[in-house]
Amino acid sequence: MIKLEKIRKAYKADNEWIPVLKNIDLEVHKGDFLAIMGPSGSGKSTLLNLIGFVDRKYLGNYYLENEIITSKSDNDLSKLRNQRVGFVFQQFNLIETLTIRENVELPLLYDGWNYRQTKKRVDELLEKLGIGDKGNKLPKQLSGGQQQRAAIARAIINNPDFIIADEPTGALDTKTSNDIMNVFKQLNQEEGVTIILVTHDPETVQFCNRVVHMHDGKLNEKAR
């Protein structure tokens, strides 16, 4: 589904270009649950931004279902971002002034869903993710684990091709981390949702079906 070929990227600091991604080759297949591990600063979030159509400043080729993404316009890229990928973050990134329901339905605003369809879809998802009674609460009225469940609902509500999760359990205790990883695993196994997950935590890797290691801007796939 996703194919990266010889991806290179550098950041400019003090008039010097610092390479951050060094000839990355990666294929992600439909239904993969891929973990990307590696030390802080090794380039994991930079790689996720590029895969998630947030960043277009890199060299090399990016194909999504055999379509070349590399030279798309900003406008096309933001369409891809809104329609083809869902994001989950360490700090949940819910909008504090909106209810859980309003947060979760945000991605549908771009797709012209009507009120009834939207309400039905949100109700189903909140129920499935175990927060069926939280729709009218504000994020701060929920625990961290519940907020992350809401963020996952928001990420999958418009059936994206894949989910990108950047250290989604980094702010959670061990028990809650395992609960959230089980949510991802269930979505992956029962609904075939493709997941690309960055984690520091070796415990969470056991939920995934592939793991790659990033070190100093390079990727290595390990047999497990």
Q: E strand or H helix at 207, and its extent?
A: none
146: closest CA among 71, 194, 216, 94?
94
For the bound state, the minimum distance from the C-beta of residue 197 to Mg ion, rounded and expressed in Å, comes to 12
**49 or 99: whose CB is closer to ligand ADP?**
49
Six-digit token string for 46: 């930079």
Query: 160 contacts which partner out of Mg ion, ligand ADP, none, CB within 5 to 8 A by kind?
Result: none
User: Does 199 engage in binding with Mg ion (CB under 5 A)?
Assistant: no
Residues 30-49 that bind ligand ADP (CB under 6 A): 38, 40-46
Which listed residue (45, 147, 169, 204) binds Mg ion by CB under 5 A? Answer: 45
For 60-72, give one letter per residue: b (16+ CB within 10 A) or e: bebebeeeebeeb
Which of 36-44, 97-105, 113-121, 129-137 is the region at the interface with Mg ion (rule: CB under 5 A)? 36-44
Q: Are 171 and 91 within 8 A, CB to CB?
A: yes
Closer by beta carbon to Mg ion, 45 or else 188? 45
- Rg over CA atoms, the chain: 18
Angle between helices 144-156 and 174-191 (to 10 degrees): 20
Minimum CB–partner distance for residue 9 and ligand ADP (Å): 9
Task: Give the closest residue to 51 by CA, choosing from 93, 2, 1.
Answer: 2
Task: For Mg ion, give the closer residue by CB, 44 or 154.
Answer: 44
Is 9 or 44 the residue whose CB approaches Mg ion more closely? 44
Q: Collect all residues with Cβ–Cβ distance below 8 Å to 124 and sequence separation of at least 6.
A: none
| Closest distance of CB 90 from Mg ion, Å | 8
> Of 9 and 101, which CB lies nearer to ligand ADP in the complex structure?
9
Binding site for ligand ADP (CB under 6 A): 11, 13, 20, 38, 40-46
Binding site for Mg ion (CB under 5 A): 44-45
